[in-house]
A and B are shown apart, each in its own frame.
Chain A
Amino acid sequence: MATLTIDGKQVTVEEGTTILKAAEKLEIDIPTFCFHDKLEAEGSCRMCLVEVEKMWKLQAACATLVSEGMVVKTDTPQVRAARKGVLEFLLINHPLDCPVCDKGGECELQNLLFKYGSDKSRYVEEKRRFIVDPQSKYDDLAVGPQIIRNMNRCILCRKCVRFITEIAGEADLGTFGRGSKSEINVLPDIPVDNPYSGNVVEICPVGALTSKSFRYKVRVWQTKATPSICPLCGDGCNVKLWTKDDKIYRVTSRRNDFVDEGFLCDKGRFGFEFVNHPHRLKQPLIKKNGKFLPADWEEAIKLVASKFKTTREQSGADSLAGVGSSKLTNEENYLFQKFFRVVMGTNNVDHRVNSRHLLPSPSLKAKNQIYSTTNSINEIEKAKLIFVLGCDLLKEHPIINLRVMKSAMRGNALILANIESTRLNRFAQDELIYKKGSELTLINGVAREIIKGKLLDADRVRLSNSEMEKLREKVQPFDSQKVSQTTEISSDKIKNFANTITKAETVMILCGKEIITHPQSTEIIDSLYDFLRLTGHQDKDSCGVNLLWEDCNSLGTLDCGVLPDRLPGYIHVSDEALRKKVEGIWNAKIPDKPGLDFNLLLEAVHQGKIKAMYIAGADPVSEYPEEDYVKDALEKLDFLMVQSIFLTETAKLAHVVLPGASFAEKDGTFTNVERRIQKLGKAFDPLANSKADWYIICMLAQSMGYNFDFNSPAQIFEELVRVSPVHTKLSWQDLNETGK
């Protein structure tokens, strides 16, 4: 620790802290342009110059480390003169086109000039222009599909280039030329087209980089920023939705250092168009003579309720089935499964529509843990070795991908095992390309290699003698020749891998979609746990097996019990004591026999055992691997109700379609891959005559004679907390800001 004095106030900070950070602690504001705390200090804008006693010239606060007894002054005549000088230098060539600049209202140059600048210009020379087209008076240049550059406005803080190289690990944006001719540009025919490109628009302090989709559409101060969560993958990046008149104009990051560190992928940043898409469903539809006709809510709800009631009376509760969605909120999914168990009286409820196989199910070894990741996102960069299995991280989890890249760039080892090479390969120490389906063989083969090759350090093994014996037996058949044949990986590579993973200090395993939807997913995950216990990488920080669930609320939907055999918090329906407790809260009886999972449901439909179905938010026709099989099944139903925001392929088969609301139009929570529960924010009311999905479920229950008396997702969440062991101790209030 070091104690220093800034502007007469003392502060004690850790060694290695910069003056800027120390001043922040004292709430002393030091202006900056080129500083970004996730980028290496550049110290080039010279805006943060401060006086440090015993130093003969001003020092850049962003890059100067504190020392014991240091005396810093941030507001002396010399400092003020230097700041004013920098602002003048930046302004002399800056075009005064603020009225037409997209950054207007949130421009750091504008803001700092307002605070520290002079009101008159001493510059009489011709301003510098970076002419793109001599015929045009505009100097705009498209440097990527999403990004427009106006070099005249650039202050050359290089945050954009530094982001691209230091964080995104790419090289498609660079600094060209020298001195006052320096410019930010791309190489001919190589546009900035990486999956993180949009961040440079947000990082740029001025209007030098703007996004095509937002330019000239609206002025920032006319929009409202609503905090929310990106719905496009399981990472759960925190976002702000910028809206005006029920329309989203742009999405920006809302930095959460537990999750996204202030960055978004382009999918999340630019992929909001669906919210205001003209094809959004605007009112209930009822199919008459094969054609959808608009209906009002009362009529539609009445029809659905009566259909469900008669089906239940005629064919029994188990002839009804529900399919929820990992894209709906926790509150909606909780309510959905409760609706089936309480109102319909059946456990036939599931949401796992994207696999022909049962997804990994809780095993004895890891109990309920198996559905979650065992490590936090922040632990990723601390692991000495990251092993990615069956996952195209960049595509599936762009923001986790950034963390993994960061870890690799800092010198931690990264090994990939995939069915084909992925973009992350360039950061990996090794990439094992295995034949699809041979994952289990690969893992068992490596385990055998470790045991046979006597690579083990006996002290590290976390298996009892009998467990060890069992494992030895299990991996016995996987001799290296056979493994090499099955996986199509050379035995040398496998040996190497066995060696590396045994020697590593800490090992974190990340499994993607390929594993989660694998026919042997449960066995694979069990084997991975064995594997970690064999090499002593269990129960340590930054060690563990992590399932990276795909959708924005995959983990939450599991946690909320949209499962045929599990109540919220994974209470097994046959577990009498716990079930009774839930029945007490619900004031209703819950069937004690597990219902059918989605694959069995389809079979049951084909066999005529399921007559009516309620699909909320899901689109199994598009998501299930065998389209015709689902289609046939759904067409066989006596009655199908689909709740959706678009007329999906599934919705087209429905008898009644109810228009739900997008994530931007409702409150609620999503649970991300690290089981962080985060709040959405309602930016505007559900479009036209659509309604929030939780509200629709309540209406339906009401109409069927049950009182689902909830006024808000907050109330639903508080009940979920009482019911589910996974959610205990949480409260709606706790979820503000960073989530929990």
Chain B
Amino acid sequence: MEKILFRHIDVSDQYKIDTYIRNGGYRALPEALKEHTPDELIELVKKSNLRGRGGAGFPAGLKWSFVPKDSPQPRFLLCNADEGEPGTFKDRALIENDPHQLLEGIIIASYAIGAHRAFIYIRGEFAFGAKRLQEAIRECYQKGYLGNNILGSGFDLDVDVYRGGGAYICGEETSLLESIEGKRGTPRLKPPFPASVGLYKNPTVINNVETLSNISYIVLNGAEWFANIGMPKSTGTKIFSLSGHVKCPGNYELPMGVTLRELIFEHGGGIKDDRQLKAVIPGGVSTPILTANLLDVKMDFESLYEAGSLLGSGATIVMDESTCMVKVAYRISKFFEHESCGKCVPCREGTRWIRQIMQRIKNGKGREEDLDLLRDICANIAGNTVCPLGDAAVVPITSTMEKFRDEYEYHIRHKRCMVDLGKRFV
């Protein structure tokens, strides 16, 4: 299958505007500005059924259509480049190698929703990516792709890069708004949704880097073309960040609906050292773990949901037989304790408590009643928090407890790990 977003990933100077143009870039922009009304573009993206690649899979066109048409307030487009989900590293690749592909998407999306100001909120650690983007933006102004009266269309747009404050939670869209406003990155209550009350209380659309990078191709090739790639409800390609115990970890752009088996064995080269596959986290640490028997699951929003997990951001973390699931759960619980923003009680207190219990179990100090307690704590967090981070934090615990309960029990009863018997006593 032909790649879309990664077509020029190996062109060493694709990040330069001239190379991007030479390779067919900035052809969608004039077409969008001159041959389409904003409403037509929204309709087009709706028809393509492009769904958000940031994790939740919300249809992009639908989101754009929520921006009030008659409001006198300014609107904003925000590109979410915070990429904080452990295991995810696709947005970084897109930004560093093909920044104009993203910018072209941003300009078209801004035009579609009537925004004259767009921000790229980039993860603070991505210093190189931020520089690349800034340089690319400078080039755009030079060529007249940004600024006033873009390509003589009468449409004005300014784009700024905003470097994040270094918190996973700032990738959550409403925290991201707070962060850009210069406040502590903590989520806002929803509703109201950002499309009506967003940045500085103005209508705002927030989309992921990968989502926006797709836009120019939909404009060029049509909604139908895009909708025909992948699965009926999960259209287009997806970049899977493959990591863990595989021979060739990396980013793979494949059509939605590719099987996990194909991803790991054909593209990832199989399990490292040819050991047995044990489990896979298919969409970033906040998605439920899959056991090895589910290798034939299709990697798209619907199929993974049916299999009891989620596509999330497409970060596929592969674990072989040498992996201790208690240790995995403990490590992830540490991540969530660290990244809980602290705003709401169940997540702030619960993530710490979970980590404390996991730490004890991992260290051989678990008690029989801890398993029930953990289940209770998770139930008291799930669904009761302000933002989805709380829900996400319990997923690794509940799903490993459900699927690898024997390992937990072994840890508690034998005060040591079941997996690497004899090697590592705790």
Contact = CB atoms under 8 A, between A and B. Distances in A.
Given A46-B344, A89-B346, A178-B338, 15 more contacts: A43-B344, A44-B345, A44-B386, A45-B344, A57-B383, A57-B384, A81-B379, A85-B346, A92-B353, A178-B342, A179-B352, A180-B342, A180-B348, A180-B349, A180-B352
B302 interface: no
B340 A125 contact: no
23 contacts: A43-B344, A43-B386, A44-B386, A46-B386, A58-B384, A63-B189, A81-B380, A82-B380, A85-B346, A85-B381, A89-B349, A89-B353, A89-B380, A90-B345, A92-B353, A125-B353, A128-B352, A156-B348, A178-B340, A178-B342, A180-B348, A181-B342, A182-B342
Given A46-B345, A89-B346, A179 B384 contact: no
A266 interface: no
A690 B173 CA distance: 66
Given A44-B345, A93-B349, A125 B167 contact: no
A715 interface: no
B316 to A, nearest CB: 27
A43 B189 contact: yes
Interface in A515-552: none
Interface in A101-125: 122-125
A500 interface: no
A85 B348 contact: no
A179 B351 contact: yes
Interface string A167-194: 0000000010111111000000000000
B414 interface: no
Contacts of B339: 178-179
Contacts of A155: 345
B5 to A, nearest CB: 33
A123 B352 CA distance: 12
Interface of B: 167, 169, 184, 189, 337-346, 348-353, 356-357, 360, 367, 373, 379-381, 383-386
B311 to A, nearest CB: 20
Given A44-B343, A179-B339, A180-B348, A82 B384 contact: yes
Contacts of A124: 367
A180 B380 CA distance: 17
Contacts of B337: 179-180
B341 A49 contact: no
B373 A122 contact: yes
Contacts of A86: 345-346, 380, 384
B338 to A, nearest CB: 6
Contacts of A84: 380
A380 interface: no
B352 A46 contact: no
Contacts of A126: 356
A178 B345 contact: no
B350 A177 contact: no
A359 interface: no
A75 interface: no
Closest 8 CB pairs of A and B: A85-B380, A182-B342, A89-B349, A179-B340, A180-B352, A125-B356, A57-B383, A179-B342
A36 to B, nearest CB: 15
A667 interface: no
A88 interface: yes
A185 B198 CA distance: 28
Contacts of A92: 349, 353
Q: Which of A44, A90, A125 has the most CB of B within 10 A?
A: A44
A156 B342 contact: yes
B373 A182 contact: no
A60 interface: yes
A227 B344 CA distance: 36
Interface in A23-65: 41-47, 49, 57-58, 60, 63
A85 B348 CA distance: 13
A179 B380 contact: no
Interface in A175-229: 175, 177-182
B386 A180 contact: no
B348 A182 contact: yes
A49 B357 CA distance: 26
B345 A89 contact: yes
Q: Which of A46, A90, A156 has the most CB of B within 10 A?
A: A46
A179 B341 contact: yes
Contacts of A81: 379-380
Contacts of A125: 353, 356-357, 360
Contacts of B380: 81-82, 84-86, 88-89
A651 B357 CA distance: 71
Contacts of B345: 44-47, 86, 89-90, 155-156
A667 to B, nearest CB: 45
Contacts of A85: 346, 379-381, 384
Contacts of A122: 373
A696 to B, nearest CB: 57
Interface string A655-676: 0000000000000000000000
B346 A46 contact: yes
A48 to B, nearest CB: 11
Most chain A Cβ neighbours within 10 Å, of B337, B342, B356:
B342
A41 B353 contact: no
A125 B373 CA distance: 13
Contact of A89 (B167, B350, B367): B350
A156 B349 CA distance: 11
A90 B349 contact: yes
B353 to A, nearest CB: 6
B355 to A, nearest CB: 9
Contacts of B351: 179-180
A47 B385 CA distance: 11
Nearest to B167: A178
A460 B93 CA distance: 65
B162 to A, nearest CB: 19
A89 B352 CA distance: 10
B3 to A, nearest CB: 37
B395 to A, nearest CB: 15
B383 A180 contact: no
Contacts of B342: 156, 175, 177-182
A156 B385 CA distance: 15
Contacts of B373: 122
Q: Which of B167, B346, B350 has the most CB of A within 10 A?
A: B346
A41 B191 CA distance: 12
A609 to B, nearest CB: 68
A638 B426 CA distance: 97
